[in-house]
Amino acid sequence: MKRSRYDKALNSLQVRLCHLQRWVQEKGLRVVVVLEGRDGAGKGGTIRAITERLSPRVFRVIALPAPSSREKTQIYMQRYVQHFPAAGEVVIFDRSWYNRAGVEYVMGFCTDEQHKRFLELCPEFEKSVMVEGGIILIKLWLEVSNDEQKQRFQARIEDPLRQWKLSPMDLPSRSRWYDYSRARDLMLKKTDTRSAPWYIVRSDDKRAARLNAIAHLLSAIPHKKLPQKHVKLPKRSSKRAYDDTASIARRRFVRERY
């Protein structure tokens, strides 16, 4: 997708996201968005496109690190539940409890029994605790092709501006492509339910994927554009006026290099 077309469409969708944000606050909605996918599928860029024009106090992004030794002894869902939204909030999980169905299972960070138990209990948890508890749950899987993932990983290796993206899990995930595919297929089979369905976003074209993800998010949360209150900018009061530019003239300023 060409940049000019993308920018125009993104601006229009982001305006609608601002309307959605007001609706969520006004109606006290609680929303959880789960973004999953292979390494290099474009989750980070999609999240930035969603949130860059919104309040981080309303649209909160949760990207948890590897669990601590203490967290490993907790109930598996415990570290995620504490980040669930209060009224008037949208929480976006950049990877989520579905780590257990993907990277933890493929890389041997959980046992086969733990993996099996997760797939059995997750649908009931999402239905009874989340959806029936009043949370709007939206689950998106970003699907990247083998060739595109290879190109993105190569760019991460070669480009100094992208090398920080290269995680210890990226290279093993390349060699274990089909293991991840089978884990994905089993996860979708067990957890794609009527109450909490998965929607797959094709992400080889990152710009199109971001737009499609935002459009789906907007369609998944019924909302209306609320009337905007008239705001009048007040005049600056001259009471107790003084030269507030001269008062800091001798302070240290950052050198103006540009």
- Span 177-228, pLDDT tens digits: 999 999 999 999 999 999 999 999 999 999 999 999 999 999 999 999 999 8
The answer to whether residue 29 is domain-embedded is yes
Residue 17 sits in a domain whose CATH number is: 3.40.50.300
* Distance of alpha carbon 106 from alpha carbon 174, whole angstroms: 12
- Write down the mean pLDDT value for the chain: 96
SS3 content of the chain, % helix, strand, coil (to 5): 50, 10, 40
The answer to whether residue 163 is domain-embedded is yes
Q: What is the dihedral of CA 13, 19, 21, 27, to 10 degrees?
A: -140
The answer to whether residue 185 is domain-embedded is yes
The answer to whether residue 258 is domain-embedded is no
The answer to whether residue 15 is domain-embedded is yes
Q: How many domains does the chain have?
A: 1
Q: Coil, helix or strand for 18? A: helix
**pTM of the entire predicted model:** 0.92
* Distance of alpha carbon 4 from alpha carbon 31, whole angstroms: 31
Question: pLDDT tens for residues 95-151?
Answer: 999 999 999 999 999 999 999 999 999 999 999 999 999 999 999 999 999 999 999
Q: Which domain holds residue 44?
A: 3-230
Sheet with 30-37, strands from edge to edge, namely 59-62, 89-94, 30-37, 135-143, 198-202
Question: pLDDT tens for residues 239-250?
Answer: 999 999 999 999
% of residues, the chain, pLDDT over 90: 90
* Distance of alpha carbon 83 from alpha carbon 92, whole angstroms: 10
Query: pLDDT tier at 10 (50, 70, 90 boundaries)?
Result: very high
The answer to whether residue 241 is domain-embedded is no
The answer to whether residue 135 is domain-embedded is yes
